[in-house]
A and B are shown apart, each in its own frame.
Chain A
Amino acid sequence: QSVLTQPPSASGTPGQRLTISCSGSGSNIGTNSVNWYQQLPGTAPRLLFYSYNQRPSGVPDRFSGSQSGTSASLAIRGLQSEDEADYFCAAWDDSRNGFVFGTGTTVTVL
């Protein structure tokens, strides 16, 4: 059911830089900004990055987003054990008149 495609898993060692990709189409990522959410085990999602270059207060600047064409990515700089979580991308889809989410990526810190 997910319209946006993410790799199911990603892993890295502490201090490493990790990138998660999100692939969509012209009616969503190709036209609108991508939001990124972090979901720690057993908790509600938390907004990490949105509107091309915005980070909510309280979110470390280790997290950054970018997008080009119909793809987007989330970069985590200086990976920490507390970053172990599921990460989801999302974007408004003009043809569906609604939000679409990604398939989700589980990040493991080795």
Chain B
Amino acid sequence: EVQLVESGGGLVQPGGSLRLSCAASGITVDNSAMHWVRQAPGKALEWVSGINWSGSNRGYGDSVKGRFTISRDSAKNSLYLQMNSLRPEDTALYYCASGEAADSWGQGTLVVVSS
């Protein structure tokens, strides 16, 4: 059974940085497509970033390009999202998901950007 556990969310001021982590079990992140998806309160899902199974293709949503970076650590079997230059509109619940079709999801970690 795949388990994904996100952490690293919290309250941060505009312009600040946060690093989200997603610890995986039941899969090997190095051999899996992985995604970050966010959901602002009462809003739709928004794809933030993804990496294909080989790591050769990393993509970002238009609203986070140049500010967020996705990476993974095979030793810790974890996925990360480095978020810089945070804006109030980045406030959301951030989910980690695995698989080409995002077939397994974590429970999310909340990021609040506010002064």
Q: Is B27 an interface residue (CB 8 A)?
A: no
Given A99-B35, A102-B44: A45 and B105 within 8 A (CB)? yes
Residue pair A44, B59 in contact (C-beta under 8 Å): no
Give residues of chain A (11-53) contacting chain B, Cβ–Cβ below 8 Å. Answer: 35, 37, 39, 44-47, 50-51
Select B44's contact among A50, A97, A103, beta carbons within 8 Å. Answer: A103
Q: Is B106 an interface residue (CB 8 A)?
A: yes
Give residues of chain B (41-62) contacting chain A, Cβ–Cβ below 8 Å. Answer: 44-47, 49-50, 57, 59-62
Q: Chain B interface: which size bin? A: 20 to 34
Residue pair B44, A104 in contact (C-beta under 8 Å): yes
Residue pair B106, A1 in contact (C-beta under 8 Å): no
Identify the A interface with B (CB < 8 A): 1-2, 35, 37, 39, 44-47, 50-51, 56, 88, 90, 96-104
Select A98's contact among B45, B50, B95, beta carbons within 8 Å. Answer: B50
User: In whole angstroms, what is the CA distance A68 to B65 when docked?
Assistant: 31
Select B101's contact among A47, A98, A104, beta carbons within 8 Å. Answer: A47
A-B contact count (CB 8 A): 59
Identify the B interface with A (CB < 8 A): 35, 37, 44-47, 49-50, 57, 59-63, 95, 101-108
CB distance from B44 to the nearest CB of A (A): 4
Using CB atoms, name the residue of chain A closest to B93: A44
Residue pair B101, A44 in contact (C-beta under 8 Å): no
User: In whole angstroms, what is the CA distance A101 to B62 when docked?
Assistant: 13
Give the chain A neighbours of B44 by CB distance below 8 A.
1-2, 88, 101-104
Given A98-B61, A101-B46, A104-B44: A56 and B105 within 8 A (CB)? no
Residue pair A90, B47 in contact (C-beta under 8 Å): yes
Residue pair A88, B45 in contact (C-beta under 8 Å): yes
CB distance from A107 to the nearest CB of B (A): 15
Using CB atoms, name the residue of chain B closest to A46: B105
Beyond A90-B102, A103-B44, 12 additional pairs, beta carbon < 8 A: A37-B102, A44-B95, A44-B106, A44-B107, A47-B102, A51-B101, A56-B103, A88-B44, A96-B59, A96-B62, A98-B50, A101-B46
